[in-house]
Structure 1
Amino acid sequence: MDGVTKGTSSFGKRHTKSHTLCRRCGNRSFHKQKKTCAQCGYPAAKIRSFNWSEKGKRRKTTGTGRMRHLKTHYGLYQETLKIFALFLQVLRARSKSKLLVLKKIDKLIQIPVLVNFYYSRTSLSERSHETNE
């Protein structure tokens, strides 16, 4: 049998790689010849995603990365809710207990929150009347 081998000896020559690392997603999905990423779609402006891939969306959604801005944003929101609850306690409390609760919420971050709450609750005419007196 002097036929051309298609088996073991042929598999040893397959050393060229069609995909390399992608700049945007970091996966080995960037096709060298096509110049596009199979994973994220780079260099397209929008990240590649399809509705038929629910798990694929889950891997790329908000919260899977660093969230440099949003993690502080969510933390401030939680802090604001706590402050607002304490502020409502102050409004409901009697004169003696007001001082105790005010000591609890004595932080720099809460001063603008309380001011914003005050301005959102009072009308413009009421505020201008206070400054005139």
Structure 2
Amino acid sequence: MSNLSSIFDGVIDTEITVKPPLAVLKELGQELEKRTQGLLVGSVEQRTIRTPYGDNFSIEFDITAPALNNYCFHVLTISHDFDLYPLKIEDRRGEYKDADNQDKLEQALKEIFSSSEVKKAINGLLAQIKSA
């Protein structure tokens, strides 16, 4: 009788220190909701994209305004394979940024969210909600 319990010894890393991009975007969405007192929600959706070269993860980040019939403003899409990093970020204008690690991901996110287009969208949605 073989001992199958030892097959994964040394294979599974129980001390994972890398934060997956999905977790980073979920935190970002929670912060948006907190800062806008729930008027805007950061919607995050992950799906698997199958290609002839392998499977990739695709994560979409949208800003949703529940009070405006769930109006949705697409901000960005992140794609990566099972290694998490490096990854590609495509903003709503179709421009790409690369990130080799979590710090570079967060830096790219800061640039995207501080862009005039995203700022206008956030503040315009808030103005419409508050005037309704």
Bucket of the pairwise TM-score, normalised by the shorter protein: under 0.3
> TM-score, normalising length from structure 1?
0.22
Higher relative contact order (CA 8 A, sep 6+): 2
> TM-score, normalising length from structure 2?
0.22
Higher helix share: 1
Higher strand share: 2
Larger Rg: 1
